[in-house]
Structure formats: structure tokens, C-alpha cells
Amino acid sequence: MTGLDDAQWALAALLHETLPALLPPARLAAILDADTDEDPASWRCLTETGVLDLAVPVAGGGAGEGVLTLAVAAEEAGYAAVPGGFLGHVLATLTVDPGGRRATVALGQVLPDARRLTGTVPFVPGGHAAELVVVATAAGLSVVDLRAGGALVEGAGGVDPTRRLGTLVLDGAAHEPLPGGPARVGWLVDAARVLLAADAHGGARRCLDLAVAHARDREQFGRPIAGFQAVRHQLADLATAIAPGRGLYRLAAGHLDSGADRAHTAAALAKAHLSEVFLTAARDCVRLHGALGYTWDGPVNPWVGRALFDHALHGTPATLRRIVADGLGWG
Amino acid sequence: MDDEALRARVRAFLAAHWSAEDRHDPVAVRRFRALATEHGYLFGWVPRELGGSGTPGQPLAARVIAEEFAAVRAPGEPDGMSVAMLVPTLLEWGSDEQRRRFVPPTLTGELTWCQGYSEPTAGSDLGSLRTTAHADGAGWEITGTKIWTSGATEASHMFLLARTEPDTTDRSGLSYFLLTMAQPGVLVRPLRQLTGQAGFAEVTLAGARTTELVGERGRGWEVSRSTLRHERSMVGGPARHERLFAALLRLASTPRPDGTTALADPLVRDELVGLHALVEQQRLAGRLRDSGDSGNLLPLTAKLAGTVIAERVSALALRLLDTDVLHGPDRTRWLHQWLGSLGIAIAAGTSNVQRDIIAARGLGLPS
């Protein structure tokens, strides 16, 4: 249930090898202050390696993979701090074949009227570059063509400059309902939670690696600070919090792929825990870098924003733990 | 065989041969274990001629078996020091004769073991220990003091480290021995723990005799490493956390005098779910390890992660007990757990020693 097949292993290894090299500290720092979170080099890599089409059905030229494979990619995207609309696009591909177009999801609000789509939906990732958006209505999921009029994504900003959020404004937009009914809305939100949990685990791993590398390089009192027991113990505690985390999102992803009832609780548990560990890791990583860590265009900042994003989008840990308690019958 | 087929076979075996009512009957438990071993469900990692089932299967299969056994409360492999720590060490380092003599009766529980490592002046710095072993032609004469030795009053035997190379003061001069407790040169003085119970002891070795050197003379440190490795995975064992968490959940669900339960308190539920995530991730971490998906860092963190769980459980339990801590019905069990979590933080390498090991070996930090 938590194990990967050979292709998934290979995907993780490939992305681990390529993505961080495409996103060196200077490039990430530049994105923090740029007008857009678009990064052509890493997007091209995701396109060429087939990551963006992983969940597209085989008939549509994709790989027909599920949430687990996407989550494996999301962990590596989190490790590398991949900017832009990866999350929204791959979530959309779980429900619709975008036919080569850029897509995203707008799940921040369920639209009450499924016939005439009107109103605003907050927290749309990668919306400014998208041509298609999957929205949630009382009747289920629907897909809206952003080029057809009656719908646009406004603004792009928020707590994570590497993944900016826009607001979808609908004014009687034409839409095409997708199969699955209202249950499919909940399923897609759960999938979003799993991908955020995987991103958080990858981000936390990167914070640990950054802090370890800094401790080895940085010399004070005539020797690397990695030699000081206080630093070593902080790093060991952080490693202990992070090392076992992968199983939580893998289990939830497997449940979503098999349609198991437990998926809802497992997804909430994974995101609650792993996003909280990521916040801790980001803060510890800042502390261990000293003033360099507290610098805007320093090496840690991209993951601070990402940790806050993973923490808050689609349910904070406190909200998600209530879902888990209810799901386990403790309510 | 795939997981589900194995699961079905194990279930059928359990349905035919095990009844949960027998779990407190030592004779029935022993008979069941022997039968389960014969069927290849227990001790697959121990060769058949040494009393195991000699079916070294995949770890995943062992996990499926363990889960099914646990589901009907059937006794699995005992997780005490004897089987979980000494047997693997003997399989790795013992002579053929030592394996034949000590492994089969240890599996059946006929021999029980305590661990002679810590001394009054050698705790975290175990390599500096001072107990000596002197070769005199007829065997070895051992002199020194071992302390905080768990289970010493009940054990039939001790495995221990002693200094065989007199000119050394560090780990390089140690050897690993097996010793019979019932002999004139061994004196056991029980020590009470914070719980008030005599869980450990001071063992004075005043010319105790043995002929059982395990591994080569002077290589005891290396031999003891494999025992400690097994001890750490034992202390960090997920089944233990799951039992502890289940008990905490029962405590939180027990109605209080005013008819309410602690579980109705949103803050208590929040902390319980947080703990549930830690327990669940340690359970899943075992699977990650089995599928080779963890590198060397994850196993090194298991003991410290277990300590974190035990300490957080104890803090919540204390809060739930409220004034019952002073004098109440549930007091003893949870007070022992609250205190015992400190024992977990100390035994088998203190948490600070664990952090040192994780930093050096798991993260590769230069000293």
C-alpha cells in the first residue's frame, strides 16, 4: 500500500536529479520578486518528463496514473520548490483531459447554482496561465473554458510567492459537467490534500538538507558549526520528525486510487501532520542559518512561504484533525 | 504468495488453532507457539535445527502474519530481551555449539536473559566499562559491578561485556560473554525504580565463572553492536505504541463522575489525533523500511521517535487523570506510564545519545 513500483521509483529519482538543479537559490530568489511565478525551465522539464500528463488517460496520450504517482512527483516538486501552476494543473488532470492546454482547479468554494455559474472562488493556483478550470458546484465538478468568456482569474499573490493564488470570477460562464456527482468534489479536495501533504514532506526534507549543508559549511569559533552538540541535536530532532513521514501521504494516496472509504480520513491526517512538520522544519532551518536564514533573498525563504501555503490551503491542521476525529468516530 | 492469499491462509490457521481465551495460559501459549513455528509463521529467521521455522521470508510477509496474529490476540514472537536481542546476536556471532546450546531453549522461554552492559561509572560511555574477565586455563573469571540491569532477578543467564585486555580503557579491549546467574560469584541486589517497583538490579560479579566467549576475544564491542541494534528497534516497536495509544483512547472515553468524557473536549481530540498521526506514521515507517524506501536515517530515528510518543502520551494521560493522580482508581497504571516514559527516554541509549548517533551516522555530520 505504501510501496512504489519501479516506474514510480524512477520518476522520483529523475525529478530529484533534475529539478533542484534547474532551480538554484538565485533563480528562486528572483522569482520571489518577479511579476509572475512562471518558470519556463522547470515547466519544460515537467512537460518533457511527462509529469504534467501522468494522470491524463492513456487514450488522451497520457500515462493514466493516479494520485499516488502524482504525489510522488509532488514530493519532489516540494523538495525543489517548483514554482507556478503544477499543483492546479495535475489536480485538474485527475478529472479531465485538458488536451494539451494549461488547466487548474477552483475548489475554494462550492458554487450553489449548478446551472448558471456566477460568483467568485478564491485560492485558485496558477490561474493566470490556465485555459481551463475545474470548478465545484452543488451538482459536482464542471469544467469551464477560460477563453470562452464569462470567466476570468483575477490577481495573483498570497503568502507563497512561488505559488501565487488568484480569484476566479464567474459571470454566467458556460460549463461542461463532469461525471461523478457531488462525491467527486470531496474526492478531488482529498486528492489536493494528499498532494499538499506530499509537497510538505518534500519541502521539509529540503529544509533538513539545507540546514545540514549549512552546518557543515559554516565555520565559527574556528570550526564548522556541525561540530557543536546543540546544533547536532537540533538537526537530529528535526530528522526524527521528518524521516518517517512519507507513509502517511502514500497510504492516503493509495486509498484515493482504490476508492476506499478511509481515504478521506487518511488524507486529512496526512496533511495535518506533514504540513505541521514542514512549518517546524522551515522555522528550524531559518534558526540554524542564523541571520542568513532571516534574509528575504536568502536560501530558506522559498520554503517558508511554501510551508505556510501547505499549512493553510484546503484545511489547516486544526480543521483537518477535527475531520479525522469525526472520521474515527471520536466526535 | 501474494499478501491476500497469505492473509487468508494465516486466518484459517488461527481460526483452527487459537482461541483468545487461552492467552493467559502459559502452557497453551507455549503449545500454540510451537505449532505456529512448525507452520512457518514464527521464527522464520531462525534455522529449523535451532528451533525456528527456517523460512526466511520477506519482511512484508512477517508483517502480514504479525498483523493477523495481533488481530485475534494470538501470541507472536515474544518481544523481550531474550528472543529479540540475544538470539539474533548468537546467530550472527555464536559458535555452532553456542547456537545449539542456547538458541532453542531461549526460543521456548526455558532460558531467560538479562543484559550486563551498564556499570556505575559507564552509562552512555559504555566503552569505558571496568568489569574484567581473566583467562585462567579452565575458562574466564569475571569481576566487577553491573547496574540498572533489567530483569536480573528472574533471568537464568546474563550476556555481558567485560574487559579482557588489561592495558586498554576504551571499547577496543572488550569481549562478549554468556554467564549463568545461579552460581556463587553472582550477587543480585534489586533496585527500585521511580515507579516503586524493582524492575532492575545491581549485579555484583565476584569471580563469576564462564567458558562462553561469543565472537573473538577483544571484539566484544562489535558483537554488542548487533544486540543494541535489536534493542533499539524493540524499544521503538510500533506494536507497543499502538497498544499504548489504544489504552489512552480508552481512558479518554471513560465517563467521568459528571457523565462527560474527555474525548468530548475538542482540545483533547486535537491532541489525540496529533498522537494518532505519530503512531500511524511509525507503523507505516516499518513498511517503508521493509520495502527499502528509507535509507539509513529512518531506522536510527526509531527509538527517539518512540520516546517522543511515550512522552506525549504520558503528558495527555496526566491531564486526563486530573486529580485522580493524587488518589484515584486509574492512578497506578498511568502514573507508571508517566514515569515509565522517562525510563524509555533513558534505557537502550538515552535520548541525547540517540541524537548523537543520528547526527553522526544518519546525517553524516563531522564532529
Active site residue B68: no
Angle between helices A246-258 and A181-217 (to 10 degrees): 160
Give the 3-state DSSP-derived string for B113-176, with helices as H, strands as E and coil as C: EEEECCECCECCCHHHCCCEEEECCCCEEEEEEEEEEECCCCCCEEEEEEECCCCCCCHHHEEE
Domain assignment of residue A57, yes or no: no
Domain assignment of residue B85, yes or no: no
pLDDT surpasses 90 at A220: yes
Secondary element (H or E) of residue A302: helix A301-312
Mean pLDDT (chain A) is: 96
Domain assignment of residue A82, yes or no: no
Say if residue B285 is in the same domain as residue B355: yes
> All 3 cell numbers of residue B218?
577483544
**Strand-strand pairing, A103-111 and A132-137:** parallel
How does pLDDT run across A78-129, given as a tens digit for each residue? 999 999 999 999 999 999 999 999 999 999 999 998 898 999 999 999 988 9
Domain assignment of residue B270, yes or no: yes
What range defines the domain where residue A200 resides?
182-327
- B68, B119, B231, B271: which one is catalytic? B231
* Of B77, B103, B138, the domain-final residue: B77
Q: What is the CATH number of the domain that holds B329?
A: 1.20.140.10
Q: What is the CATH number of the domain that holds A267?
A: 1.20.140.10
Share of chain B above pLDDT 70, in %: 94
Say if residue B139 is in the same domain as residue B40: no
Q: Residue A259's CB: how many other CB atoms inside 10 A?
A: 8
Mean pLDDT (chain B) is: 90
Domain assignment of residue A194, yes or no: yes
Say if residue B306 is in the same domain as residue B354: yes
Domain assignment of residue A315, yes or no: yes
A29-38, B170-179, B225-234, B262-271: lowest mean pLDDT where? B225-234
Residues of A with CB under 8 A from a CB of B: 1-4, 212, 215-216, 224, 226-227, 229, 232-233, 235-237, 239-240, 243-248, 250-251, 269, 272-273, 318, 321-322, 324-325, 328, 330-331
Task: Report how far residue B224's alpha carbon sits from residue B176's, in angstroms, rounded to the nearest whole number.
Answer: 7
How does pLDDT run across A142-166, given as a tens digit for each residue? 999 999 999 999 988 999 999 999 9
As for how many domains chain A has, the answer is: 1
Domain assignment of residue A71, yes or no: no
Say if residue B199 is in the same domain as residue B242: no
A2 — pLDDT class (breaks 50, 70, 90): low
DSSP one-letter code for A97: -
Q: Residue B184's CB: how many other CB atoms inside 10 A?
A: 9
Which chain B residue's Cα is nearest to A266? Answer: B277
Share of chain A above pLDDT 70, in %: 99
Domain assignment of residue B306, yes or no: yes
pLDDT surpasses 70 at A18: yes
How does pLDDT run across B39-58, given as a tens digit for each residue? 888 888 899 999 998 876 66
What range defines the domain where residue B175 resides?
113-219
* Of B55, B77, B99, the domain-final residue: B77
Domain assignment of residue B104, yes or no: no
Residue pair B153/B161 in contact by the 8 Å Cβ criterion: no
As for how many domains chain B has, the answer is: 3
Nearest alpha carbon to residue B265 among B252, B248, B281, B246: B252
Residue pair A191/A91 in contact by the 8 Å Cβ criterion: yes
Say if residue B37 is in the same domain as residue B135: no
Residue at B230: amino acid letter:
H
Q: Residue A230's CB: how many other CB atoms inside 10 A?
A: 8
* Of B77, B99, B128, the domain-final residue: B77
Residue pair B142/B133 in contact by the 8 Å Cβ criterion: yes
Task: Report how far residue A98's alpha carbon sits from residue B86's, in angstroms, rounded to the nearest whole number.
Answer: 60
Q: Residue B312's CB: how many other CB atoms inside 10 A?
A: 17
Domain assignment of residue A111, yes or no: no
Say what the pLDDT of residue B59 is.
Answer: 61
Residues of B with CB under 8 A from a CB of A: 249, 263, 266, 269-270, 272-274, 276-278, 280-285, 287-288, 291, 293-294, 297-298, 301, 304-305, 308, 352, 354-356, 358-360, 362-367
| DSSP per-residue string spanning B192-237 | --TTSS--EEEEEEEEEEE-EEESSTT-HHHHHHHHHHHHHHHHT-
A204-213, A280-289, B70-79, B334-343: lowest mean pLDDT where? B70-79
Domain assignment of residue A12, yes or no: no
Say what the pLDDT of residue B328 is.
Answer: 73
Q: Residue B85's CB: how many other CB atoms inside 10 A?
A: 24
Secondary element (H or E) of residue B250: helix B238-253
pLDDT surpasses 60 at B177: yes
Q: Please state the length of chain B.
A: 367
Say if residue B207 is in the same domain as residue B245: no
Say if residue B67 is in the same domain as residue B145: no
| DSSP per-residue string spanning B337-366 | HHHHHHHHHHTTS-HHHHHHHIIIIIS---
Say if residue B188 is in the same domain as residue B287: no
Say if residue B240 is in the same domain as residue B298: yes
Q: Which residues contact A251 (CB under 8 A, 6 or more apart)?
A: A1, A2, A266, A270, B284
Domain assignment of residue B107, yes or no: no
**Inter-chain CB proximity A233 and B355 less than 8 Å:** yes
Task: Report how far residue B252's alpha carbon sits from residue B332's, in angstroms, rounded to the nearest whole number.
Answer: 16
Give A9: exposed, middle or buried? Use CB within 10 Å, 0-12, 13-18, 19+.
middle
Say if residue B243 is in the same domain as residue B352: yes
Domain assignment of residue B332, yes or no: yes
Give the mean model confidence (pLDDT) for residues B122-145.
96
